[in-house]
Structure 1
Amino acid sequence: MAAEAAPTSSQVKTRDLKTWNFDADLQSLQEAYDANSSPISVNFRKLVPLGSGVDRATHLFHSYPAKLLLNIPLFFINCTKYSSPNDVVYDPFSGSGTVLVEALLAGRRAMGADANPLARLIARAKTTHITSDVIAAALDSVLSEIDNARQVPFTTTIKKDIWFSETNVSSLGALLYSIRKNTSGAVLDFLETCFSTCVKKVSVSDPRLSVPVRLKGEALEKHIAGSPDLIEHFTKVVISNCARLNKMPEGCISELHTDARQHHREGELKADLIITSPPYAGAQKYIRASSLSIGWLGMAPANRLRELEKLNIGREHFCKSDYNSENASVALSAEGVLKKIKAVNPLRAHIADTYLREMDDAAEGIVSRLRQNGHLVLVVGDNMICGHNFSTSRFVKEIFTRKGLTTTLELVDDIRSRGLMTKRNKTAGTIEREHVIVFQKR
């Protein structure tokens, strides 16, 4: 299914770049779907034989939560039906850049969008080529200029004393000051991403959980005793990520926007292929999961996490006055289940309804950025809310169909530990399967 390819002039030292071709697999899936027009079960881990947690190019730069399984974009980008070299691949909910990385590895141009500034920082760092000698020189300058008398203070997004020892607060502040004093542009993005990778490592947050949860008792004592030296750990991260970046195509760079809801503007590129996994309705706290890094890097408007949360689709925090109004749902097929959920929990119903409304706005922007006859690959799962099945895939499919797209293929894959917060509280339920829906703009 996969064969080694000789390096081209646009590729550097790349032991893990391959020429993939999944046209025959796609044809089999398409024939099965066309035969009965119902979703076809598929296992992308078997279809694209890459092991769990594979260190491919820059995918392991950062432990950003809920990353899309890289096997999915790798499959669709390397089907000639959907894209060719130099085509534009766009991910409107790009997170830390999984789709963008795979697009660049396949010789496509990459474009993304995300409301979380930390996600955009990581995605830029993962998709912007910098030579090893430039990174090495920058690291030497940063380490030689560290001075504990000069520090970047932690912003007031959360209480730093809960999460960091006094020593680590001082070390983090001095390191970040030196990074910002001695670097700029793409190198600054790269080193701030490496800094962000270290933040949670030297905190007292439980490393097993994506959102910050403070360790207690014996676990806390053990964690503190084994906490790494910040500068030593930062140096290792920079060296490892430099080696990963060296596997990306020479000269590669991505284009990033701040919101999936932004419409295409005259003169901007249109996408030949869009691949994306939208956030779920209250299923992953992206901003809370990023809060320690956001606090250090000063990324929250007015230093308030809640202001940043408001920019994200799928958020959970609302005032009671926000969800007392009665409005028809943008997805007619969702009205019945929304009424049932509201009878049990008005807040949870409002979260789900707002999610669909904002996805409707996002769909307008997404469709405007897709060229005629281009394809959209949408990865979305269903879950339970207040004991009721919330068919997110069906509702979002209805939204995109109303925008003029035609469904050409639908696949279903079981979730097998993709970094998603699949287990939620008893009002939000569990996500167990994901639908992969392919649309075309005809």
Structure 2
Amino acid sequence: MIEVLRTPLHLETGKESVVERSLKLDDRNRTDLSFDLLITQLVEQYDLERAPIEVNFREIVPFGPGVDRATHLTHTYPAKLLLNIPLFLCNNSIFSKKGGLVYDPFCGSGTVLVEAMLSGRSAFGADANPLARLIAKVKTTHLDRAKLEVALNAVLAAVDGRSKQKFSPVVKLEKWFLPTTSEDLSKLLAAIRRTCTGDVLDFMEVCFSACLRQLSLADPRLSVPVRVKADKLEDRVKGFGSPAQVFERYVRSNIERSQRIKDTSSCIGFGDDARTGHMALEKLSRRADLIITSPPYAGAQKYIRSSSISLGWLGLVPDNKLRKLEGLNIGREHFHKSDYDDASYLNLFGAEEEIERIRALYPLRAHIAATYIHEMEQAARSMVSALKTGGHLALVIGDNHICGKPFTTSSYIKRIFESLGLRVKLEMVDTIKSRGLMTKRNRTANSIDREHVIIFEK
């Protein structure tokens, strides 16, 4: 073990490390970082041992959970990547240079993209969830403070009883909101759409979405919506203030965050599918110097269901059918019995025997896992096409359980990239504290507690 991994030296100020005291705003938003020496040491150690190296990214980059850095806290999102990881991977001259392009084909709400921009790289993202793309776009777009304040005042002045915005019926509105709250939210969203356009409209809609969970009857501790079981639901919601008041608080906080990316590099665009992201980059005549991504797990996480309340209010679901949107996502869970009754599972990069074991116990879960591997191969091909020769790809992925036994997802996906000609340059393993979504299923899985960070070179 390299000694520097055990001591949080990298952001120390004097004798007191950042991890031992409250972070000041200047510390949280530092961009003058370099991990070249540490990465060189890690690569040398991996070359000698050819085994995953235990690390602790919370010590390497001693920012605690929930640190208000740049625009990361603009909006909650399930299973967000620990920002310490992309911060570490972007701030060096070994995996990419300043001015290069960082691509995340499973970008979620944009954690990698924000850190790429802060490090002086351009960014490009892709995600199948339209809410994720909207949040990521807002987090990577600087807007003038005065312009946003004028827009906020216009929105608040336009809220009245004449105009309302209907909720798209993707879930039951009455289950998640009190009638008075729903009425006020419909007026607020109508005012936003009547007074705002372009990037300002996107910003205001993200702020509107950000306040929904607080105003809803959903348990705030859980990402996938579960109605709060309490006697005084109405008092809980009313204690936060009116929807307009909650919205105003979110807007003012996010205006401050938006100013922190004023002098960073840019986000050059978005794709809507990891399997075709290389085509979107080709249209821009660009290839990535560095890809950093954390793919979804096979059936372990419900990104679309977690976003359902916001998706409904913003009208982002095709034909108002969540299943249709879920079908666009790798790692989805819903299949018809006819999809897997006579399915054959071949070319699964070493997972064939494990899939057959699962199939004997639970045919649906076997089909979910096999489909996941096949579709991840498609995504991997796209990533390799998007990457420059000599470029690097950082894969952040964990191993979960299916039907009570370990399913070594990381090894199967690693083999996919190796089969496409990429060489493993470094592999690290870190313990997961929390990724924000329940990854434990009653009968079919256990929690994911370790993540592999595998660095490939093309």
The answer on whether the counterparts of 2:148 and 2:255 sit within 8 Å (CA) in structure 1 is: yes
Q: Deviations over 1:313-360 (max 9, x none)?
A: 111111111112332333231001100000100001111111111101
What's 2:272 paired with?
258
Which of 333, 350, 365 is the matching residue for 1:348? 365
TM-score, normalised with respect to structure 1: 0.95
Cα deviation code 1:180-212 (max 9, x no counterpart): 111111111111000000111111000110011
Distance of 2:396 and 2:34 partners within structure 1:
21
Quick one: distance in 1 between partners of 2:195 and 2:454?
46
Q: Is this contact kept in 2: 1:275–1:376, CA < 8 A?
A: yes
Match of 1:10 in 2: none
Match of 2:104 among 65, 76, 91: 91
Give the TM-score of the pair, scaled to structure 2. 0.92
Q: How many residues align?
A: 433
Structure 2 CA distance for aligned equivalents of residues 219 and 433 of structure 1: 39
Q: Aligned match of 2:162 in 146, 149, 172?
A: 149
Q: Distance in 2 between matches of 1:252 and 1:23?
A: 21
Task: Name the aligned partner's letter for residue 157 of structure 2.
Answer: S
Q: CA separation in 2, counterparts of 1:70 and 1:219?
A: 36
Distance across 2 between alignment mates of 1:14 and 1:41: 30
> In the alignment, what sits opposite 2:130?
117
Q: Which residue is 1:384 aligned to? A: 401
**1:213 equivalent among 223, 226, 238:** 226
Which AA in structure 2 matches 1:362? A
Partner of 1:7: none
- Pairwise CA distance, 1:269: 1.1
The answer to whether the 8 A contact 1:2-1:19 is kept is: no
**Aligned residue in 2 for 1:421:** 438
User: Which amino acid is 2:114 matched to?
Assistant: V
State which of 76, 79, 85 in structure 2 corresponds to 1:66: 79
**CA positional deviation for 1:405:** 1.0
**Secondary structure of 2:125's partner?**
strand
Partner of 2:295: 278
Q: Is the 8 A contact 1:301 1:307 kept in 2?
A: yes
Q: In the alignment, is the contact (CA less than 8 A) between 1:337 and 1:388 conserved in 2? A: no
1:422 Cα deviation (Å)?
A: 3.4
- Of 350, 353, 374, the residue aligned with 1:357 is 374
**Displacement of 1:27:** 1.6
* Within-5 A mapping of 1:45-194: 45-194=58-207
Unaligned regions of 5+ residues in structure 1, if any?
5-12
C-alpha distance in 1, partners of 2:250/2:318? 28
Gaps of 5+ in 2: 1-9, 14-24
Superposed CA RMSD: 1.6
In 1, Cα distance between equivalents of 2:408 and 2:264: 42
Greater Cα offset, 423-432 or 65-74: 423-432
Instruction: Spell out structure 1 runs of 4+ moving beyond 4 A.
Output: none
Residue 221 of structure 1: how far off its partner (Å): 5.2
Is the 2:166–2:186 contact (alpha carbons within 8 Å) kept by the matching residues of 1? yes
Structure 1 position 53, deviation (Å): 1.1
CA contact (8 A) 2:118 2:265 kept: no
Q: Specify whether residues 163 and 349 from structure 1 end up closer, same or farther in structure 2 by C-alpha distance, changes over 3 A only.
A: same
| 1:258-292 residue CA offsets vs partner (Å, 9 max, x unmatched) | 11111333553110000000000111100000000
SS in 1 for 2:329: coil
- What SS does structure 1 have at the residue aligned with 2:72? coil
| Higher mean C-alpha deviation, range 319-328 or range 38-47 | 319-328
Counterpart of 2:16 in structure 1 is none
Q: 1:18 to 1:266 in 2, by over 3 A?
A: closer
Question: Could you tell me how far 1:52 is from its partner in structure 2?
Answer: 1.6
Letter in 1 for 2:89: F
Pairing partner for 1:367 from 379, 384, 387: 384
Question: CA offset at residue 229 of structure 1?
Answer: 1.6
Identity, in percent, stands at: 52
**Alignment partners' CA distance in 1, 2:246 and 2:210:** 10
Bigger drift between 297-306 and 45-54 goes to 45-54
